[in-house]
Structure 1
Amino acid sequence: MFYYKKSLLLALFTTLSIFCIYCISATTNGNSGILTMGSFTIPIVSLQGIIAAVNALCCIIMVFIDFKKGSKIAFTIMGISIALALIPIFTVHSLAPLPGIVSNIVSLVSIIIIYSFYKRSSMNSLTDFITGLPNRRYYVKEVNERLSVKQTFYLACIEIEDFKNINDVYGIRAADFILVDTAKKLKGKLGENEMLFRITGGLFAMLLNEKTVPEEKLKNVIRSEVMMLPPKEGEDLLVKNSCIVSLAAGIVHIGSNDNYKDSASVMRDAEIALMEARKLQNQKMCLFSDSLKKQDFEQKEAEFLIKDAMQNNYFYLVYQPQFTTNEKKLRGFETLIRCKKPDGSIISPANFIPAAEKTNLITSIDDYVLRRAMTEFKPVVVNEKKDFVLSINVSAKNIGTENFAQKLKQIIDEIQFPPENLEIEITEYSFAESMETTVENILSLKSLGVQIALDDFGTGYTSIAQLMKLPVTLLKIDKSLIDNIETDPVMCDMVDSVIYMGHIMNCEVISEGVENENQLEILKEHKCDFIQGFVWGKPLDFDSAVSLCKDTK
């Protein structure tokens, strides 16, 4: 709309300027004639001066409307005006048009000055002052133009990883140095009609030709390297500062038949590929695909569901009973979260927990489950004087944060829940993520009396040597190991070994996912301490769980 409005205004003022030229030409006869209007007389030269001034004003306005197209039109019209004014001087040797010529020349110089100012301002607004590269505004303009003509090309979205952290630790001067050096290396890979832009922070965009193979072109640039930095202020020139700089690239191909509407939609898909590239260990490059877009959509949809569920209380808890293997005595419950939407549909945790684990939303879910489960079961624990255990899963991200133990203690104190009745379930992955912090948190919780269970035991995230040193009180055998113990002797021996290892570690062992009597008998033979599964108990709502507690002596 704005583009058409500019074009319409340019056409209007161009027409007015042409009309002015016509009027000046029509009144030019080489003589200083007089125009009579009633009782008034106006010298023709004066009238021509007025028209010339209007013409000059129109030309100046056109430069302001669109300094590129408008300037070209204005230069042409002013050139024609000056040429027409010169004709009488050479044909009839009259100097009468001289004031008009001077006026036109002054107007032309004014237009040139305005054009130069706008050109310089435009260049500054389209150029990144640190790297000298075209900036985000230029990127938007260039990509939109290419999309408008259905041009095919690649966009590589290239990021300096942890750039903000580099800026904070090493300072702005070092960060600028890294930007300039990175820009130089990337620019050296450009071919004909290819462009490099700095978008923002440590993010660059590279437009590559259709025939280019982006992975081949960038493979020697997208890597981690140690970069020597300039000394900080006050440091001696001999001081050598270094920083590991890593690049990642998300690449998207724009075909002539693709439905990209603008530069933002292209950048969005490139950033989806960039997010995937960050996860890769070696060559951090990823080419965008529809499957990535689907994953991104599902991730965002799940995040929206979680936020909506937290705000509108769609989450609720169910409790799966755990029993001693031999006597079928109730040990306690594992707390499981569920989500029920207003239309009555139940959302499986498999549809939102993985998405939550990729963000900090998992921490909010953990906190919700901890508070609600302890609040619901506190009267049961206190009034019924039961010694059963309330087991609650905690994510690796949560148990690996420095203040988790302190936060959980505050929740326990606030609710006044007996810590000896609380069991925190963590996975082996928790130790792989942050061993030192996780162990510190576990030791702090054990000092409070909280029990620690290692969930999904046998999935292989930690070594045997590490497992022997873990401060846990219960091992949970993963359901995947239990499923085939009836028919697979190797798996049966594996479960027997896991149980034996757990007892060596002075831990009790519970098998989850026990679904039939045959599995139960095998676990009894192998001296598994507890079982959990549909064979003796499906997940129960709170009221049913309380009834089970009361029925158990």
Structure 2
Amino acid sequence: MRESTLTSILDSMEDGVIACDRNGKVTFMNQAYRDIIGENDNDLSIGLLNKTLQGQHVDKETYPIKNSANDITLIKTNGKQIRGKSDETLGALLVAKNITKEEQIKKALQESEQRYRTLVDLAPISIFVKMDDTLAYINQFGAEMIGANDPKEIIGRPSSDFIPPELRHLVDTRTKTILDNRVSLQPYETKLLRLDGKTVDVQANSTKIMYKGKEAILGMNMDITDKKISDEKIIHMAFHDPLTDLPNRRYFTQLLTQRIIQVQRNTTFGIYCLDLDNFKHINDWLNHSNGDKIIREVSMRLKLCVDKETVVARVSGDEFMIMPPVETDESYLKKLAMKILTAISKPFIIEGIECHVTSSIGISMYPNQGVTADTLVKNAAIAMFSTKINGKNSYTFFHQELQDQLTIKREMELDLQKALKQNEFTLYFQPQINTKTNTLFGVEALIRWQHPRNGLVSPNEFIPIAEESGFIVFIDEWVLREACKQIKKWNEIFGFLITVKVNLSAKQFYQRDLVSLVSKVLTSNSLPPSCLELEITESTMMKDKNKALSTLLQLNQLGVKLSLDDFGTGFSSLSYIKDFPIDTIKIDRSFIHNIFKDTKSQAIVKTIINLAHSLKLQVIAEGIETEEQAQFLQKHSCHLLQGFLYSKPIPVEELEPFIKQSKT
């Protein structure tokens, strides 16, 4: 082969080739080698050639070469002596392969692998590889999750050791599906079994990989124990009352719905709706934090009254729902109701104060009084309201008439709101007679409702509804304004002032602007305060004694007369009557009605009259229906009498004869 041809072949090679003679002088260098060393001679190349001449081993060694640009090139060498026919050394040949890029790629791969290994080792989730149910790899976090200090403690063990027995079949099925179908399944929640026997809640995910040349499962487990605990707390909070930890309305409704689904229509069971009586007053008296203590104590008493299968729920402020076990008849429900009423009525000791609380219960039964949770709850609540209306501290079974009564009540509430705007209210007046002169002393203003459909409605029907709804405040103000207007008219007609007594409800009496309102109404009608007498009941006065005293003193300073209605029917009367600026006390009609039926009523009436005289108070008796009653009261110096014996409540035009007679 010609030398030029050989040179062309060698120059076309990617590997560098360099040769020298027996004296180490370079005799040939192909283009690839020139590219490696650049324009400079390279001491390393000469040294490698000399080593080869001397028979030293330079095969498959890696060396750095610096070219003319000072760039480092890595080469892997293969050296060989050139021998003549007589086996003498003629020179040396060195082949150099540029492995710079290969080494760079290798280094990058090593660095990348190290980064990913570090990332896996430090990852805050469990990462593992299993092959044939053997744990081939697990990171530090995963080892600690299972309870090991070091991954080496558990690598090589069966992966099934760390799965609860009841879940192993599920995990095996998922593993087989992934390996057979070469698919990744959706993450799912499961549990791991720790070395100490405890379990860990995890969200698991896995996929198929090749690991050390074999099929394997790469898995990741995220510890969700804290999340599960947090979720359970949130769910618990969503379905339980925070004050008592009892089920709330939502949870009770769900449990009731489930029971209805489970039982047959021929199965009967009942539910209770229990509400504490007058609890708002207790809250106002003791303050809300102490009221909460009573609520918690009530919940404890309720749970002690029932068995573990009975559901006790707090569904609102002072309202509870109770669902005894299935197959409960009326007899059982009555006995349990009495047991609950007795338990609630026992004294509560709050900050050394003995408090008495009662409750009202309504009962509805499945399936006769409802086949859905909402209906049963609604009907139990209706029965509970009926208990409250009829005296409280008892229980009532639901029946359809209660629903009808509630419907009438709701219609009346709506009609009441329209009545003021449509001028449906009117005032009637009942005369009060002076026992010494037997003439008109004053009148009591009494509201009547001329309903557009139902005619004249008794106050006994609509006043309780107005008080419950709060509408009574607007009614009281209307009565006050109309009564003062009428006093002014009578003064213009007859030339003298007539004292008019106006009843105030508890809600109106405790309004902040009451004194201001009374003053403005009197001023607007140019009336002296002495012609107006405001009546409050004994129970109203005792509701908040300090606030009542303050209001009464302000009204007294204004010049308005004050009357204590229903005297003798309340409590602590004699203890407080001397402290309040009262002008008149009114003997309750119940004592007058029984005045000749028992000696006790006579004694009470005499005592009240004598008390009034001693305190220099005016005394009036209401409910006078017979001459005998009037004579008895006149004999014992009762100042004023009021009742049907003289006149029933009458409209303004029928009252004028009394006024004219009084003037005469």
For 1:155, which of 262, 271, 295 is the aligned residue?
A: 271
Deviation (angstroms), 1:494: 4.7
Contact 1:371 1:411 in 2 (8 A): yes
For 1:503, which of 601, 613, 618 is the aligned residue?
A: 613
Contact 1:428 1:462 in 2 (8 A): no
Match of 2:212 in 1: none
Match of 1:399 in 2: 509
TM-score scaled by length of structure 1:
0.62
Match of 2:424 in 1: 314
- Report the more deviating stretch, 435-444 or 206-215: 206-215
Is 1:128 paired with 2:229? no
Aligned pair in 2 of structure 1 residues 199, 99: CA closer, same or farther (>3 Å)? same
Deviation per residue, 1:403-433 (Å, 9 max, x gap): 4323322332344332111111222222332
Deviation per residue, 1:231-265 (Å, 9 max, x gap): xxxxxxxxxx9999999877665544413142222
Q: Structure 2 matches for 1:270-349, cutoff 5 A?
A: 270-272=380-382, 286=395, 288-290=397-399, 300=410, 302-343=412-453, 345-349=455-459
Larger Rg: 2
Deviation per residue, 1:45-79 (Å, 9 max, x gap): xxxxxxxxxxxxxxxxxxxxxxxxxxxxxxxxxx9
Secondary structure at the aligned position of 2:650 is classed as coil
Q: Matched residues in 2 for 1:207 and 1:471: separation?
A: 52
Deviation (angstroms), 1:138: 4.5
Contact 2:491 2:497 in 1 (8 A): yes
Contact 1:512 1:532 in 2 (8 A): yes
Secondary structure at the aligned position of 1:334 is classed as strand
Q: Matched residues in 1 for 2:495 and 2:501: separation?
A: 17
Is 1:525 paired with 2:635? yes
Deviation (angstroms), 1:156: 4.5
Is 1:208 paired with 2:317? no
Q: Matched residues in 2 for 1:463 and 1:206: separation?
A: 39
Q: Matched residues in 2 for 1:316 and 1:182: separation?
A: 45
Deviation (angstroms), 1:450: 1.0
Partner letter of residue 144 of structure 1? T
Aligned pair in 2 of structure 1 residues 195, 407: CA closer, same or farther (>3 Å)? same
- Report the more deviating stretch, 506-515 or 298-307: 298-307
Deviation per residue, 1:33-56 (Å, 9 max, x gap): xxxxxxxxxxxxxxxxxxxxxxxx
Match of 1:431 in 2: 541
Deviation (angstroms), 1:317: 0.6
Contact 1:128 1:135 in 2 (8 A): no
Is 1:258 paired with 2:368? yes
Deviation (angstroms), 1:444: 1.4
Q: Matched residues in 1 for 2:298 and 2:436: separation?
A: 66
Deviation (angstroms), 1:546: 4.3
For 2:582, which of 466, 472, 486 is the aligned residue?
A: 472
Is 1:549 paired with 2:626? no
Aligned pair in 2 of structure 1 residues 471, 260: CA closer, same or farther (>3 Å)? same
Partner letter of residue 128 of structure 1? M
Deviation (angstroms), 1:465: 3.9
Partner letter of residue 271 of structure 2? L
Partner letter of residue 237 of structure 2? D
Is 1:352 paired with 2:462? yes
Match of 2:556 in 1: 446
Contact 1:195 1:207 in 2 (8 A): yes
For 2:645, which of 535, 540, 548 is the aligned residue?
A: 535
Secondary structure at the aligned position of 1:339 is classed as strand
Match of 2:253 in 1: 140
Deviation (angstroms), 1:345: 2.2
Q: Matched residues in 2 for 1:480 and 1:126: separation?
A: 56
Partner letter of residue 614 of structure 2? I
Q: Matched residues in 2 for 1:529 and 1:221: separation?
A: 48
Deviation per residue, 1:248-286 (Å, 9 max, x gap): 87766554441314222222244456668899999x885
Secondary structure at the aligned position of 1:420 is classed as helix
Match of 2:622 in 1: 512
Q: Matched residues in 2 for 1:180 and 1:474: separation?
A: 44
Match of 1:417 in 2: 527
Structure 1 runs not aligned, ≥5 long: 1-78, 87-97, 114-119, 228-240
Q: Which has the higher contact order (CA 8 A, sep 6+)?
A: 1
CA RMSD between the two structures:
5.2
Deviation (angstroms), 1:298: 6.4
Deviation per residue, 1:83-113 (Å, 9 max, x gap): xxx9xxxxxxxxxxx999557x858989xx9
Deviation (angstroms), 1:335: 0.6
Aligned pair in 2 of structure 1 residues 217, 409: CA closer, same or farther (>3 Å)? same
Aligned pair in 2 of structure 1 residues 260, 125: CA closer, same or farther (>3 Å)? farther
Deviation (angstroms), 1:373: 1.2
Q: Matched residues in 2 for 1:511 and 1:135: separation?
A: 51
Deviation per residue, 1:354-405 (Å, 9 max, x gap): 3334442322221111111112322323564313211111123432455432
Secondary structure at the aligned position of 1:452 is classed as strand
Q: Matched residues in 1 for 2:382 and 2:547: separation?
A: 31
Contact 1:401 1:437 in 2 (8 A): no
Is 1:481 paired with 2:597? no
Q: Matched residues in 1 for 2:564 and 2:302: separation?
A: 47
Contact 1:515 1:533 in 2 (8 A): yes
Contact 2:366 2:376 in 1 (8 A): no
Is 1:372 paired with 2:485? no
Contact 1:197 1:205 in 2 (8 A): yes
Q: Matched residues in 2 for 1:523 and 1:182: separation?
A: 48
Q: Matched residues in 1 for 2:319 and 2:592: separation?
A: 48
Q: Matched residues in 1 for 2:479 and 2:340: separation?
A: 46
Q: Matched residues in 1 for 2:323 and 2:597: separation?
A: 58
Secondary structure at the aligned position of 1:128 is classed as helix
Deviation (angstroms), 1:217: 8.5
Contact 1:324 1:530 in 2 (8 A): yes
Secondary structure at the aligned position of 1:346 is classed as strand
Contact 1:152 1:254 in 2 (8 A): no
Aligned pair in 2 of structure 1 residues 509, 147: CA closer, same or farther (>3 Å)? same
Deviation (angstroms), 1:481: 3.3
Aligned pair in 2 of structure 1 residues 155, 224: CA closer, same or farther (>3 Å)? farther
Partner letter of residue 612 of structure 2? G
Secondary structure at the aligned position of 1:535 is classed as coil
Q: Matched residues in 2 for 1:218 and 1:295: separation?
A: 26
Partner letter of residue 140 of structure 1? T
Partner letter of residue 259 of structure 1? Q
Contact 2:531 2:560 in 1 (8 A): yes
Aligned pair in 2 of structure 1 residues 189, 122: CA closer, same or farther (>3 Å)? farther
Q: Matched residues in 2 for 1:299 and 1:388: separation?
A: 37
Deviation per residue, 1:464-511 (Å, 9 max, x gap): 343344422223233333345567676555544433322212122233
Structure 2 runs not aligned, ≥5 long: 1-169, 190-202, 204-227
Structure in which a larger fraction of residues adopt helix: 1
Name the % identity.
26
Contact 1:226 1:242 in 2 (8 A): yes
